[in-house]
Amino acid sequence: MSPAAPPPPLRQKKRRIAIMTSGGDSPGMNPAIRAVVRMGIDKGCDVYGVYEGYEGLVQGGDLIRQFQWSEVRGWLSEGGTLIGTARCMAFYERAGRLKAAKNMVLHGIDALIICGGDGSLTGADKFRSEWPDLVQELVDTKQLTAEQTKPYKHLNIVGLVGSIDNDMSGTDATIGCFSALGRICEMVDYIEATASSHSRAFVIEVMGRHCGWLALMAGVATGADFIFIPEKPRPEKWREEMCAVVAHHRQNGKRKTIVIVAEGAYDQEGNKITPEMIKDLLADKEGLALDTRITTLGHVQRGGSACAYDRYLGTLQGVEAVRAVLDATPDTPSPFIAVNENKITRKPLMQAVLDTKEVANAIAAKDFDRAMSLRDTEFSDMYNSYRTTTSTAIDNSVHLPPKKRMRIAIIHVGAPAGGVNPATRAAVAYCLTRGHTPLAIHNGFAGFARHHGDKPDGAVREFDWLEVDNWANKGGSEIGMNRETPVESGMELIASLFKLYKFDGLFIIGGFEAFQSLSQLRKAREQYSSLCIPMTLLPATISNNVPGTEYSIGSDTCLNELMAYCDKVKQSASASRRRVFVIETQGGRSGYIATLAGLAVGAVAVYTPEEGISIAMLAADIEHLRKVFAGDSGQSRAGRLILVNEKASKVYSAKLIADMIREEAHERFESRDSIPGHVQQGGVPSPMDRTRAVRLAIKCIEHLEQFEDRSDSAILSNPQSATVIGIKGASVVFSPMKEVEENETDWPNRRPNHEFWLELKGIVDTLSGRPDVPRPESPLVGWKAKDKKRGLS
């Protein structure tokens, strides 16, 4: 007989929450665990980690341990899951779940946050539904007393979806999927280089038994020639279709062929499509006769540290999971934490699980249209975008009638940002597919203005498809860009050149200067008839400060570069043990990059232009650092970082702040400053910037071609004739430029009036343990005070 169970601790005011990971591991799980632990402790809860997944719940003992604040320091940059995950057959049986319930009661835990896939989350919800019966059985079998179990009549469950496949319905992204996509794109980029050198074909197999997200996004991001995904199986004649596409590309001069196949790929008849079948077809001497190789990426897709997006996604979802636990009642359906475009939301867990399984059912029933419809809108958009960019000029049936075809100018304005070239490639592909003429304006409006009279100097030319086809993974701007606006170049000259080249539409890609340029062109329409054409802007800037959108192309690339830089600096700081690095970030007068990077690297403090810096704030932060290092015996391996935006203060630069810290430390610890500078503009664009650039650029050209009536009166009277495309909340929208200029723009500070991410700064402070410090008086507050004294309020 086993000894009587010890009585659990008396129910205290503190809530006890457990966090566990289950199923496969994925990058970003550790940031989620860290967020749950620290947010829970901040909210006055005791937080426990369950090691080895459900196995830990069943076995109990040392596999359920209370976490302290400092134990999760340094977890942001660690891959996999540091609390482990394991398959547990015992939990599938009621006896196993009974043991799990007993162990939770013994530890005083009545809330469970689980990070895993749909199978793990389904098991969790079943556990919750059985909980009252399990607890009663523990009493009936005298394993626990009624008094012991009285405070634990209900179990609250919150799900976090950790999956590299991104296969959960109801959310745009699962924790780990973009890190895995990054590994794939990195490998394909390497393979493309050798493929081009040797004029070879490569068949690349990626993960995805029931979900083709990785294969699809990798195909879009790398410009693959052909893809195979479970949701859209190829018809019986897929061999002929693939060979026709590859042959067309080769005839156009391509030296490389890349085919990406998901491991769960089948044709429409349910026959498995293997990499070997594709290789044999491409290498067939009677057909294409290409030197073809197979690469199976395997578990390399799971490995390594999480990308910036997965770090802050895991962090924000972990924070929201704690809030959901504290908000829950016995009647609250189990939620999971989702993200739709840029918005963190709670959704019913079991409905999402049912919807996810319905995709597999639809595929099994060969109802492929339904399978596609059950994926999110972005999935369908991306598939259509991929088809457009890979079948350019193959199918003339999709060409518009000649009278509807347009001469569309494409110009880059502002500073370089990752994703500008992929966006241009996609726009050119769509134009050629529809019969439009895409025209490159080289070197922005400054290059355009070098024209004199009717003697062009080559700054405008038609795009060549073979040239742009290689731009899928190129950073910077291949046609050149600068910050000069039309007013600076000379509006009359610019208008005359629009007339000279007979532009029917204008597609601008760039940052705040591009936004300013579109505003100037719109206002000049009344004076210049040649400017009465549809125009649209795709925001692309590392600063993410363009009004009309919450996401600018290039900002994700910047965050990844800055995060990698900070990780290296933090490693240096941790080697020295007692060192603080003050790192200056770019971002103009927007603190977006500094704040999101602060979430991704665990900064002690972040200084932004929106908040400013004061001597009282610095003094409080320095005092906090003193206490932190005084309480640190030197065993901690994590260095400490402070991020300061380049324009957070006119006086307190990164170097000055580092010098102040060093002076006040009195040799108890050290400080250094570091400036990554233009490294933040990135080299190779991130997969998120590549794929979103493709999706949004195609939408922009689709928007322009809607304007069949391009008379001056029609253009002037239609607010949608000058727009900025953007992600707002959970939607992609075209906002009228006039409306955005007047209602959404902080012109003096070159940023939106409302910055959606501002509330995230508080989360950075909470998770770093930063105390409440004196906040600088806002300039706006100061002006209001002056106005009140002058009787102007």
Annotated binding-site residue numbers? 24, 87-88, 117-120, 163-165, 200, 207-209, 263, 293, 299-302, 483, 541-545, 579, 586-588, 646, 672, 678-681, 750
- Return the half-sphere exposure (C-beta side, CA atoms, 13 A cut-off) of residue 511: 24
Angle at Cα 380 formed by Cα 377 and Cα 382, nearest 5°?
105
The two three-digit tokens of residue 80, written as one number: 């996999």
**Residue that has been written with the tokens 């050119």 in this structure:** 428
Instruction: Provide the annotated binding site for ATP.
Output: 24, 87-88, 117-120
What letter represents residue 180's amino acid? A
Q: How far apart are CA 494 and CA 441, in angstroms?
A: 12
Residue type, 157: I
Alpha-carbon span 391 to 267, nearest angstrom = 20
C-alpha 759: how far from its chain's center?
Answer: 18
* Identified catalytic residue from 46, 110, 125, 165: 165
Sequence ranges of the binding site for beta-D-fructose 2,6-bisphosphate? 483, 541-545, 579, 586-588, 646, 672, 678-681, 750
Do 222 and 313 form a contact (C-beta atoms < 8 A)?
A: no
Four-residue CA torsion sign, 165, 168, 170, 174: negative
Cα-Cα end-to-end distance for the chain: 80
- Show contacts of 270-279: CB within 8 Å, 24+ apart: 270/366, 273/228, 273/234, 273/238, 275/203, 275/204, 275/205, 278/203, 278/228, 278/242, 279/203
- Dihedral sign, Cα of residue 372, residue 374, residue 378, residue 379: negative
Residue 637, token pair as written in the block: 């391996």
Comparing CA positions, the residue from 156, 159, 127 lying closest to residue 335 is 159
Q: Give the DSSP H/E element, type plus range, for residue 346.
A: strand 343-348
Provide the 3-class DSSP secondary structure of residue 324.
helix
- Residue 362, SS3? helix
CB 42, CB 50: distance < 8 Å = no
Q: What is the DSSP string of 134-177?
A: HHHHHHHTTSS-HHHHGGGS--EEEEEEB-TT---TT-S--BTH
**Dist CA 148 CA 574 (whole Å):** 45
Q: How far apart are CA 248 and CA 251, in angstroms?
A: 5
510 touches 540 (CB < 8 A): yes
Both tokens assigned to 63:
């596999």
**Contact criterion met (CB below 8 Å) for 764 and 595:** yes
165 is known as an active-site residue:
yes
How many Cβ atoms sit within 10 Å of the Cβ of residue 246? 22
CA distance 387 to 464: 19
Angstrom CA distances, 525 to 350, 510, 519, stand at: 54, 21, 10
Q: Which two tokens stand for residue 259?
A: 């085919």
Q: Which residues are catalytic?
A: 165
